[in-house]
Amino acid sequence: MMTTGKPLLVALAGEVVRPAPVWLMRQAGRYLPEYRALRAREPDFLRFCLTPKLATEVTLQPIRRFGLDGAILFSDILVPPFALGHGVRFVEGEGPVLERVTSRAQVEALDLSRARGVWAPVMETVRRLRGALPPGVTLIGFAGAPFTVAAYMVEGGGSRDFAEARRMAFAEPGLFGALVARLEEATIDYLSAQVEAGAEALMLFDSWAGVLSPAQFRRWVIEPTARIAAALRARFPAVPLIGFPRGAGPMLGDYAEGTGAQAVGLDTALPAAWAARILPAGVTGQGNLDPMALVAGGAALAEEVATLMRAVAGRPWVVNLGHGIVPQTPPEHVAELVALVRAAS
């Protein structure tokens, strides 16, 4: 039982905290009217992310409304490739559109020295947030994991199965591996800069890990994440890393054992009780409420929260969703969720 310290950091250190700390992926975003009002002022999404005044305000909005235990930096996983000089833009109604990586020359053109200047406003946002957050709230920095970011770059945008990225990983592993290695280096640098600016915990989103076979999952998800985690741990031993390999399925245990992440996020499809059994001792679980239960609210949400808390009794756990909040979520249901978690013993 936690007695002192920030609840989220205590839980990420491997201690059982009750009431469990709670924060939500995409907790700042389109479901909040105050967010939509700000976005109307700056329709260019990347420019919005790289404007510290706006990004700081958006990050703080759900903290003011709901009193969550964690504030995750408002940004996007495609900021690093954009900063590296790769073509990235966001199209309304379509999502991200990227220059497709097809050659070694494109990989070699990714410029880390340029990136540091481009993502400097993100670090200014982190500094502002660290000074503005309430004392008990943990500031979470994040990045996309190398496989997921590489998949977008090879595919040229979003996809249901990232078939071209998977084809390249099999047919041209040298080229795909060079891209992943360059992104590893950039990710370590990007996350390190966030810690130096004030981030207290980090999260690595591997949102498309689930499209890979087990052998490919080990090569392109577990191994790069392990190298990133080791580099960050050597530089910042007190800063925990949360890994989120969405769609990992039965590979979740291998990911937890093999990466060295202090916490592992579960998607909605995984049984929390099973994960509580197979996660190594000392590794904190995070997740995995269905975002649609949050949309529904009421008795359905209460039952989901009660079921989750029973399943993870005795384990260090952070309450979160199995994926991000969807735009149709009523804000009052988020307040309801926080109250339910805080009322749980």
Average pLDDT over residues 109-119: 97
Average pLDDT over the chain, rounded to whole? Answer: 97
39 given a catalytic annotation: yes
Q: Which of 18, 30, 89, 100 is catalytic?
A: 30
Please say if 152 is a catalytic residue. yes
Question: Could you say which DSSP state residue 250 is in?
Answer: G
Q: Which of 35, 65, 76, 130 is catalytic?
A: 76
**Residue 76 appears among annotated catalytic residues:** yes
Best CATH choice for the domain 46-284 from the list 1.10.10.10, 3.10.640.10, 1.20.58.2030, 3.20.20.210: 3.20.20.210
pLDDT, one tens digit per residue, over 64-106 is 999 999 999 999 999 999 999 999 999 988 899 999 999 999 9
pTM of the predicted structure, to 2 decimals: 0.97
For 174-231, write each residue's pLDDT tens digit.
999 999 999 999 999 999 999 999 999 999 999 999 999 999 999 999 999 999 999 9
pLDDT at 1 over 60: no
Per-residue confidence (pLDDT) for residue 4, from 0 to 100:
55
Cβ neighbours around 200 below 10 Å, total: 23
**C-alpha span between 73 and 56 (Å, rounded):** 8
Amino acid at 25: M
- Looking at residue 94, its pLDDT comes to 86
30 is catalytic: yes
- C-alpha distance across the termini of the chain, in Å: 11
Contact 109, 178 (CB under 8 A): no
Q: What pLDDT was estimated at residue 306? A: 97
φ and ψ of 164, to 5 deg: -70, -40
Handedness of CA 328, 332, 338, 342 (dihedral sign): negative
Catalytic one among 31, 152, 190, 255?
152
